[in-house]
Amino acid sequence: MNQGITAKDVAKLAGVSQSSVSRVYFKGATVSQKTREKVLAAAKELGYRPNEFARSLITNRTKIIGLVMKGVQNPFYPQVLKQFTTAFKKLGYSILFVYTNNDEIQQEDIDTLLNYNVAGVIITDATLSLQANEDLFNNRIPLALFNRKIDGNKFYSVCCNNLEASKQIAQYLLDAGCSNMIYISGNENTSTSIEREKGFVTVLKENKVKYKKYISDFTYEGGYKTIEKIVSQQKVPEAIFVANDIMALGVMDSLKKHQITVPDEVKVVGFDNIEMSAWPSYSLTTWEQPINEMVNVTVDYLTAEISEYSGQTQNIEIDGRLIVRKSTQNG
Amino acid sequence: MNQGITAKDVAKLAGVSQSSVSRVYFKGATVSQKTREKVLAAAKELGYRPNEFARSLITNRTKIIGLVMKGVQNPFYPQVLKQFTTAFKKLGYSILFVYTNNDEIQQEDIDTLLNYNVAGVIITDATLSLQANEDLFNNRIPLALFNRKIDGNKFYSVCCNNLEASKQIAQYLLDAGCSNMIYISGNENTSTSIEREKGFVTVLKENKVKYKKYISDFTYEGGYKTIEKIVSQQKVPEAIFVANDIMALGVMDSLKKHQITVPDEVKVVGFDNIEMSAWPSYSLTTWEQPINEMVNVTVDYLTAEISEYSGQTQNIEIDGRLIVRKSTQNG
DNA sequence: TATATTTTTGCATACGTATGCAAAAAATGA
DNA sequence: TCATTTTTTGCATACGTATGCAAAAATATA
Which nucleotide is closest to B6, CA to C1'?
Answer: D16
| % of chain A surpassing 90 pLDDT | 85
Distance CA B276, CA B289 (A): 14
**A23 Cβ within 7 A of any nucleic strand C atom:** yes
Given a contact cutoff of 8 angstroms between Cβ atoms, the answer to whether A68 and A109 are in contact is yes
Tell me how far apart the alpha carbons of residues B155 and B104 are, in angstroms, rounded to a whole number.
14
Distance between the alpha carbon (CA) of A23 and the C1' atom of C19, Å:
10
Q: What backbone phi and psi angles, to 5 degrees, belong to B312? A: -70, 145
Bridge partners (DSSP) of residue B158 are: B146, B316
- Residue pLDDT, tens place only, A289-329: 999 999 999 999 999 999 889 989 999 999 999 999 999 99
A62 vs B contacts (CB less than 8 Å):
53
Residue of B6, B48, B52, B53 to mutate, interface with A, max A Cβ within 10 Å = B53
Q: What is the pLDDT of residue A190?
A: 93
Burial of residue B246 (CB within 10 Å: 0-12, 13-18, 19+) is buried
Q: Sort out which chain B residues have CB atoms less than 8 A from A77's CB and list them.
A: 78
| Amino acid present at B280 | P
What pLDDT, in 10s, does the model give residues A171-226?
999 999 999 999 999 999 899 999 999 999 999 999 999 999 999 999 999 999 99
pLDDT tens string A138-150: 889 999 999 999 9
Contact A94 B116 (CB under 8 A): yes
Strand D and chain B: which residues 234-263 have CB closer than 7 Å?
none
- Give, in Å, how far the C1' of D13 lies from the CA of B121: 36
CA distance A63 to chain B (A): 10
Predicted local distance difference test score (pLDDT) of residue B103:
87
Distances (CA, A) of B99 to A66, A91, B113, B257: 15, 14, 12, 34
Q: Do A81 and B99 touch (CB under 8 A)?
A: yes
A2, pLDDT greater than 60 = no
Q: Name which of B72, B82, B96 is nearest A94 (Cβ-Cβ).
A: B96
Instruction: Give pLDDT, residue B220.
Output: 96
- Confidence grade of residue A1 (pLDDT, cut at 50, 70, 90): very low
Q: Which of A120, A158, A123, A161 is nearest to A141 (CA)?
A: A120
Average pLDDT, chain A: 94
Phi-psi region of A47 (alpha: psi -120 to 50; beta: other; left: phi over 0): left
Summarised one tens digit per residue, pLDDT across range A4-56 is 799 999 999 999 999 999 999 998 888 999 999 999 999 999 999 999 999 99
Residue spans of chain B under pLDDT 50: 1
The tens digit of pLDDT for each residue in A229-284 reads 999 998 899 999 999 999 999 999 999 999 999 999 999 999 999 999 999 999 99
Q: Taking 50 as the threshold, does the pLDDT of residue A136 lie above it? A: yes
Distance CA B19 to C1' D17 in A: 9
Q: Does residue A103 carry a pLDDT above 90?
A: no
Mean pLDDT of A80-85: 97
**Over the stretch B15-39, which tens digit does the pLDDT of each residue have?**
999 999 999 999 888 899 999 999 9
With contact defined as beta carbons under 8 Å apart, do A94 and A63 qualify? yes
Residue B107, CB, less than 7 Å from strand C?
no
Question: So what's the pLDDT on residue B331?
Answer: 67
Q: Which tens digit of pLDDT belongs to each residue from A218-232?
A: 999 999 999 999 999
Question: What is the pLDDT, as a whole number, of residue A151?
Answer: 84
| Residues 40-79 of B, Cβ under 7 A from nucleic strand C | 54, 57-58, 60
pTM above 0.85, yes or no: yes
Q: Please choose, from the candidates A167, A174, A161, A166, the residue with its C-alpha nearest in 3D space to the C-alpha of residue A267.
A: A174
**SS3 state at B234:** coil
A85/chain B closest Cα distance in angstroms: 7
Q: Which residue is nearest to nucleotide C7 (CA to C1')?
A: B32
Q: Is the CB of B50 under 7 A from strand D?
A: yes
Q: What is the pLDDT of residue A196?
A: 97
- Total Cβ atoms within 10 A of residue A323: 15
Nucleotide nearest to A7 (CA to C1'): C16
Are B79 and A73 inside 8 Å of each other by CB?
Answer: yes
Q: Which chain A residues are closer than 8 Å to B281 by Cβ? A: 252-253, 256, 281-282
Hey, are the CB atoms on B81 and A75 less than 8 Å from each other? no
Q: Which residue gives the smallest C-alpha to C1' distance to D9?
A: A20
Distance of alpha carbon B192 from the chain centroid: 12
Element (H, E) at B211: strand B210-215
